[in-house]
Amino acid sequence: MIEQQIFGAERILIVGAHAFDGEMIAGPLAFVAASRGIEVTFLHLTMGEQGHRCLSTSLYAEQKRKEAADAASRLGAKWLTLDFPDAFLPNDEQTALAVCDVIRRIRPNVVITHWHGSWHKDHRAASELTKTGVFYAALPTLERESPAFSPSLLLFGENWEDDEGFTPTYLVDVSSGFEPWREAASTYELARGLSSFPYLDYYSALYRLRGCLRGTMYAQAFMGMSHSWNAGAGLFLPPQPA
């Protein structure tokens, strides 16, 4: 089962375009994993500093750093940011290499990020950057500060802004992580009414819906990569015995 592969990992990396995105696409899962002794890290490519109606971008970025730290602590996770500019996340080789360097340094068995079918340009960029970063991280001939490393599983989480073509491959039981997730998400002003979109209502209902289909109280949906991607990624792994 997919739970055995995810929760059998040593380290999980969750890559979000903005602080708060990663907690939505994999927050309950993060708590369940961390409670089982797995090292979980949130990578926020930007802080999402453009999203406040009143605060300047610098002040809101400072606020979101505090919110991100509080949320990660409540989920039992670590967090870091690459501090790229919100709304202008560059989808280029330099940025993909920065993601590659994080993957090589953390060495996660499982990587989770956005699905690419999104109307939000930063979310589309985050998805492509993560895929490319995973590819670069695995290349043994690409010399970087840390040695090559290939995650064994790349997943794409469910997000209301990334629903174009999203069809769940896996439903993962995250029942024990639901309440801690609500508390962690609520540390963000974005979840407490800054936005007109009712984040907590939407995701609470979504996780319950997925749980109904999974046969548990709550679940999160994820898409996986194609068989050809999985076979290609295996080219960079040590030979397997017949």
pLDDT at 238: 64
pLDDT at 164: 98
DSSP, res 76: T
Burial of 226 (0-12, 13-18, 19+ CB in 10 A): exposed
pLDDT at 237: 65
- The owner of tokens 């962690």 is 184
- The owner of tokens 């592969």 is 5
Q: Each residue of 129-186: pLDDT tens digit?
A: 999 999 999 999 999 999 999 999 999 999 999 999 999 999 999 999 999 999 999 9
Domain 2-234: CATH class, spelled out? alpha beta
- What Rg do the C-alpha atoms of the chain give, in angstroms? 17
Tokens representing residue 66 in the block: 């505090």
Tokens representing residue 51 in the block: 């999203």
Higher pLDDT, 77 or 196: 77
What predicted TM-score, i.e. pTM, was given to this entire model?
A: 0.96
The 3-state DSSP class for residue 152 equals coil
Residue 236 predicted with pLDDT over 80: no
Mean pLDDT across 113-133: 98
Q: Each residue of 172-195: pLDDT tens digit?
A: 999 999 999 999 999 999 999 999
